[in-house]
Each structure stands twice: as C-alpha cells, then as structure tokens.
Amino acid sequence: MLKKALRSLFQFNLLFLLLLLQATPKAPAATYPELSKLINAPMAPLSITDPSGTMLLYLERDPASQLASLATPAIGLAGREIDPILWAEKRRNRIYSPSFLRLADGVRVPIEVPKASHIPLRSFNADGSLLALGIDSAKGIELWLVTVKTGKAR
C-alpha cells in the first residue's frame, strides 16, 4: 500500500514538472530586449581621490563578472567565502582598466598593468605619490606599485 502511494505521488510530481516545463517561455532575454540591455549595461566605475586631492583613481567594473563569480569554487570560513586558488576573499566584481584623472586639467593617465587584470586591492601612500595595487594572477595576488604622476607600474 505504501509502495502504491509513493508511486502515485512520484507520478503526480513528474507530471506536474513536465507541465511546468512546457509552460515556461523558451527565451525570455530574446523576447524582452530591454531585459537583455539591462543585464549587459555597464556598471558605474569606481573612483577614489588621492590624499592630495589632485588625482582621481578611475576603475572600470565588469557587469558580467558577478554572474560568473557564482560558479567559482569557494571555501566557507567564519561567514566569508575564500577563493581556494588565490587564498583570499572571493571576488564579486571584476575591476579592470585603471587610470588616473588629473582634476586640474582633466587629462587621463592610463596605468600600465597587464591587460585583463583584476584589481581588487588598492591603496595610496600618505602623500599620494604612490599607489599600491593588488592584482590577481594565476599564482596568487601580486603587489604592484604605481607612480601616480606617470602611471608607470612595477
């Protein structure tokens, strides 16, 4: 008797799922182009002023990286997600294409870092002449020092 009840419950659930799958639209993003534009819209860049107040650090953010980061492995530790490849906190936003903007004349100075670098960590020194960047690489996180006036990194 129990077997019959379980079998009929299973059959009912299977029928329900099949009906549900047929009722869902096939391509919602293609059906609604506004939704597709919203998903792929560029995110607002991050901007940080240097301690002297003369330069602005300008960083682009990738909108698609948030979805891609959900699929990467992570280790849970005290409420934080640790990336087992970098041994650092899991990244949510991909930050790339750094540059400085001189506030006096509006000239943009690009920072010379490897193309397609992800830059989660950044900090100016006390007088604003140097910028420290933590750049994710295949081996871990690399520390790069950037001269603010020229944009040269080492």
C-beta separation of 21 from 15 below 8 A: no
**Single-letter code of the amino acid located at 101:** L
**Residue 49 sits in the same domain as residue 29:** no
Q: How confident is the model at residue 145 (pLDDT cuts 50, 70, 90)?
A: very high
The mean pLDDT of 136-149, rounded to a whole number, is: 85
* Domain span including residue 27: 2-33
**Residue 12 sits in the same domain as residue 65:** no
The mean pLDDT of 100-126, rounded to a whole number, is: 84
Confirm whether 152 is domain-assigned.
no
Say if residue 126's pLDDT is above 80: yes
What single DSSP character describes residue 64?
A: T
C-beta separation of 112 from 59 below 8 A: no
**Residue 10 sits in the same domain as residue 65:** no
pTM score of the predicted model: 0.64
Say if residue 69's pLDDT is above 80: no
Interval 39-63: pLDDT, tens? 777 788 888 888 988 889 988 887 7
> Phi-psi region for residue 124, left (φ > 0), alpha (ψ -120 to 50) or beta?
beta
**Residue 20 sits in the same domain as residue 85:** no
